[in-house]
A and B are shown apart, each in its own frame.
Chain A
Amino acid sequence: MDGQLVVSNLTKVYPKVRAVDDLSFTVQPGRVTGFLGPNGSGKTTTLRMMLNLVTPTAGTATIGGVRYADLPRPLDVVGAVLEASSAHKGRTGRNHLRVLCAAGGYPDRRADEVLDLVGLSPAGGRKFRGYSLGMRQRLGIAAAMIGDPKVLILDEPANGLDPEGIKWMREFLRAFASQGRTVFVSSHLLGEMQQLADDVIIIAGGRLVAQGSVSEIIASIAEPGAVRVRTPHVDQLAVELHSYGAILDYPGENQLLVRGVDAATVGRAALAARAELHELTTEAPDLEQAFLKLTRSMAAIR
């Protein structure tokens, strides 16, 4: 069985809202796929429908061609780290995993193996109550790895993690995917996915907005960055730039922030205006802004 995820026409209608609306996409093994969308766009509902926790109103979701509910040993195939998934506060991490060993049909030593895998062995005998957010997230991954699955599904795994935790998570998921396995990870931050994912699927208002490789998506949605200029001849340059249709901002003395034209055009305008340049830099495109713009119109029509 391969670890391809196929979602077809998935729909979830709640009494007051269509949380997920005729959503279809495919997630390939051997890659990290980001599942992007603003908060409340239906990501969690979609993931929970894929895992048989929420019943779809219509449509199907399969993992390697099989519905989750029909997997004979689901933990052998899919490991999931979901947001509203936790452990009993008074139970130790190791016992939490041992419960899962019994329920999934794994030997108890598997609990120690996965604790080791996520670097949580020293805290295995401590109660969940005393775990930091990073430790809780690691325990979640340990639980997901109990059956050595082919697919990992994670809901906002970086939420609340410190930079070190995020780095650890990123490396873990990249290594997992490099073994030919499937990683499907949701997030509401495009920047986070830029560093982690190979592919992204973007939804808003429960509908598909875009899907493709990260570089494609970024190229298609990102606007060119603004050009920052420092010059003692702001007024002359501004007059010249207006004739190129540029949009100008005045962030400080002797400074211009130019939008709508590229750096070469600004240089040409400066030459024509006989303006002396002290700085001419193109700022990085603001991905989050572009992402918000892309998804906001969809979210608004709900």
Chain B
Amino acid sequence: MSGSSTLAPAEAQPAEAASTPPRRPRLVRAELRKIFTTSTWWLIGTFLLINTALMLLVHIVNANQRLEMAEQMRLHPPDFDNAPPGQRPSAREQQQMLEEFARQTDIPAIVAEQAANVFTSGQFLGLMFIVILGVLVVTNEFTHQTATMTFLATPRRTRVIVAKLVAAVVLATGYWLVSTAVSVGFGVLNFSLRGYSVPFADMQVWRPVAMNLLAYLLWAMLGVGFGVLIRHQLGATLTAAGLYLVNLPAALIVIGFIYANLIHSDAVWNLVVAFPGVASLVMVAAEPPSFVAGQEGLAWWIGALVLTAYGVVAGAIGTLITRRRDIS
């Protein structure tokens, strides 16, 4: 049963061993209990759900408008024969216009693109709530002075931080599941009521949904790391939320400064992906977003890599700090 107890000198306690067979400590369960025995989880869950519902509505309305436009357009294909003589486009121009028309009326492609949007409804603010969740998982211990009890039960603090990371990730997965179930449920209902079927096998559809999950997990880890760095609950929450929200403008300002004063090369703009918020945007984007005019966009995996690095570094720094810190 207790595989970890081999580290200590053997001790005889027959009476107790008989009445209470030793069990393995379950630190993740302890952390999940901490979350589920207070109001934090459903408060965050409620905000998440309201946010998802509102954004879902916006995305569905938007998707329907796009599809309607495309359907209207399809009724009026370019008619070169009726063009007045002299104004008739060249053969090459005709070819281009036809291609453009085909692209704008490619209903399956539009459905796929819009489905990706609908299925990740509420992502931007949702991730902010997730980062706050991670922060709370740690700072609650200090605000309510339960850190003493936690570290008395588990003197090996690395295990506590790992358990907190896992618990935050588990909870984030739960929130993602609920949020995605709602979005996909209502989204599919909307599309099928209008006679469209969603191409789930299309990478353009499932990849943003999967990346949304990855973003939830990584931001939860970032939140835990952040909570360790700033123990003050309100301070940590506001700072984390603030940094998350201003990440893109901040990235543009910083890189803009570097571009203007240090390295005058267009490629420098790609460095915005070094900011976690931007990395997150790159990772979850349906189309690779480009930050340099005329250049190909940044691939999703670059964002995923950067954000994972942040998650790992935040977790590692958090663990190191917690191991050394005096609890008083």
Contacts of A91 on B, CB cut-off 8 Å?
Answer: 34, 37-38
Query: Mind listing 21 A-B residue pairs with CB under 8 Å?
Result: A1-B9, A45-B328, A51-B152, A68-B155, A72-B4, A72-B5, A72-B7, A73-B2, A73-B22, A80-B152, A85-B149, A88-B37, A91-B34, A99-B33, A99-B37, A103-B25, A103-B153, A104-B25, A105-B26, A107-B20, A148-B20
CB contacts under 8 Å to B, within A178-218, are none
Contact (Cβ within 8 A) B20 A102: no
Encoded as 1 (CB less than 8 Å from any B CB) or 0, chain A from 51 to 93 comes to 1111100000000011011111111101010101111111110
A-B contact count (CB 8 A): 120
Q: Is A174 an interface residue when CB atoms closer than 8 A count as contact?
A: no
A residues within 8 A CB of B151? Answer: 52-53
Contact A74/B153 with A106-B20, A106-B23 known, Cβ cut-off 8 Å: yes
Residues on B lying within 8 angstroms of A by beta carbon are 2, 4-9, 11, 13, 16, 20, 22-27, 29-30, 33-34, 37-39, 140, 144-146, 148-156, 324, 326-328
Nearest CB in chain B to that of A66: its residue: B8
Q: Which residues of A contact B154 (CB under 8 A)?
A: 103
Output the nearest chain A residue to B33 by Cβ-Cβ distance.
A99
A105 proximity list for chain B (CB < 8 A): 2, 22-26
**A98 interface contact, C-beta 8 A:** yes
- Bound: A106/B140 CA distance, A: 23
Question: Given contacts A48-B327, A73-B5, is CB(A102)–CB(B149) below 8 Å?
Answer: no
Residues of B within 8 A of A74 (CB): 152-153, 155
Given contacts A44-B328, A88-B146, 6 further A-B pairs with CB under 8 A are: A48-B327, A53-B328, A55-B326, A73-B25, A88-B140, A103-B150
How far does the Cβ of A243 sit from chain B's closest Cβ, in whole Å?
57
A85 in contact with B145 given A52-B155, A102-B30 (CB within 8 Å)? yes
A9 within 8 A of B: no
**Which residues of A lie under 8 Å from residue B25 when comparing CB positions?**
73, 102-105
Whole-angstrom CA separation of A82 from B152 in the bound complex: 10
A170 at the interface (CB under 8 A from B): no
- Given contacts A86-B144, A87-B144, A88-B140, A95 and B33 within 8 Å (CB-CB): yes
**Of all chain A residues, which has the CB nearest B149?**
A85
Range of interface residues on A (Cβ < 8 Å): 35 or more
What residues of chain B lie closer than 8 Å to A1, measured between beta carbons? 9, 11
Q: Is the CB of A54 within 8 A of B2?
A: no
Complex Cα distance A100/B155, Å? Answer: 13
B145/A86 in contact, CB under 8 A: yes
Q: Which residues of chain A are near B156, meaning CB under 8 Å?
A: 69
> In the bound complex, do residue A70 and residue B145 qualify as a contact, i.e. CB atoms below 8 Å apart?
no
Q: Is A143 in contact with chain B by the CB < 8 A criterion?
A: yes
Q: How far is the CB of B234 from chain A (nearest CB, A)?
A: 15
Which residue of the partner chain B has the closest CB to A82? B148
Top 10 closest A-B pairs, CB basis? A72-B5, A103-B30, A102-B30, A86-B145, A95-B37, A105-B25, A85-B148, A103-B153, A105-B23, A53-B327
* Residue A110, interface by CB 8 Å: yes
- Tell me the minimal C-beta distance from B18 to chain A in angstroms: 12
Given A72-B2, A105-B25: A143 in contact with B149 (beta carbons within 8 A)? yes
On chain B, the residues within 8 Å of A88 by CB distance are 34, 37-38, 140, 144, 146
Contact between chains at B9 and A104 (CB < 8 Å): no
Residues of A contacting B38 in the complex (Cβ-Cβ under 8 angstroms): 88, 90-91
Chain A residue contacts of B326, Cβ below 8 A? 48, 53-55
Question: Nearest Cβ distance between residue A4 and chain B, in whole angstroms?
Answer: 14
Chain B residues with CB under 8 Å of A70's CB are 7-8
- Give the distance to chain A from B11, nearest Cβ to Cβ, in Å: 5
Residue among B23, B152, B154 having the largest count of chain A Cβ atoms under 10 Å:
B152
On chain B, the residues within 8 Å of A51 by CB distance are 152
In the complex, chain B residues whose CB is within 8 Å of the CB of A143: 149
Considering residues B13, B39, B146, B154, which has the most beta carbons from chain A within 10 angstroms of its beta carbon? Answer: B146
Beyond A92-B37, A104-B25, is A75–B328 a contact (Cβ under 8 Å)? no
Query: Chain A's nearest CB lies how many Å from the CB of B116?
Result: 39
